[in-house]
Amino acid sequence: MSEDSGRSTGQGEFLADLEAEVAHDLEEHRPPAGGPAYQVVGALVALAVGVVGAVLAYGYGLGTLRRPGAGLWPFVISVVIVVLAVILLVVGRKLEDSERFTRVSLLVLIGGASFVAFAALLPTIGFEIPSLLLCLLWLKFLGGESWRSTVLVSVGAVAAFYLLFLYGLRIPLPHLF
């Protein structure tokens, strides 16, 4: 809403100022904006989704309005996505609502990988050992906790989940013990 830059002191103006102030306040805690490349890539991804969606939906058969085929609805939506993505490509280049990837973003990569590893191990060796390892990784290496609190929280959490799922909620999780 920051594009409002009239001189008047109307209600809307005031609210816009207030929102700008709030946004500024929050920005202090945020990494720098990503720049035009981020915006263009975002719009292109949306465009690709729209185009692929439209092509696939066309293949499912459009039918007629009287007898719509399976593809008509997704086709219409995909076309709208394409149109919006093109608009975004044109008007969105200068937006500053993206955030630059920094070295800290590597933490997210590690975090994401730990999710995948956990899910892969869960059905084969049960949830206890993967849970312990995941806690260890997140507390000690991603969170920078001391060894003492890492061990305490990890063991405590796994024990609590064991009791909660297997005894409290009686949900059959794959488990070793």
Q: Verify binding: residue 36, other proteins, rule CB under 8 A.
A: no
The reply to whether 84 sits near other proteins by the rule CB under 8 A is yes
Q: Do residues 39 and 92 touch, judged by C-beta distance below 8 A?
A: yes
9: contact with other proteins by CB under 8 A: yes
Residues 115-154 that bind other proteins (CB under 8 A): 115-116, 118-120, 122-123, 127, 131, 134-135, 137-139, 142-145, 149, 153-154
Q: Is 48 in the site for other proteins (CB under 8 A)?
A: no
94 binds other proteins (CB under 8 A): no
Token pair belonging to 1 = 């809403």
Question: What is the smallest separation between the CB atom of 147 and other proteins, expressed in angstroms?
Answer: 14
The answer to whether residue 177 forms part of the interface with other proteins (CB under 8 A) is: no
Q: Does residue 20 bind other proteins (CB under 8 A)?
A: no
Is 173 a binder of other proteins (CB under 8 A)? yes
Please tell me whether residue 176 binds other proteins under the rule CB under 8 A: no
Kindly tell me which residue out of 32, 48, 51, 53 binds other proteins, with binding defined by CB under 8 A: 53
Give CA–CA dist 58/140, Å, rounded.
51
H, E, C per residue of the chain: CCCCCCCCCCHHHHHHHHHHHHHHHHHCCCCCCCCHHHHHHHHHHHHHHHHHHHHHHHHCCCECCCCECCCHHHHHHHHHHHHHHHHHHHHCCCCCCCCCCCCCHHHHHHHHHHHHHHHHHHHHHCCHHHHHHHHHHHHHHHCCCCHHHHHHHHHHHHHHHHHHHHHHCCCCCCCCC
Structure tokens at 9: 């002191």
Position 109, amino acid: L
| Cβ-based nearer residue to other proteins, 30 or 147 | 30
For residue 87, state whether it binds other proteins (rule: CB under 8 A). yes
Tell me which of 29, 148, 176, 177 binds other proteins, using CB under 8 A: 29
55 binds other proteins (CB under 8 A): no
Binding footprint of other proteins, residue count (CB under 8 A): 94
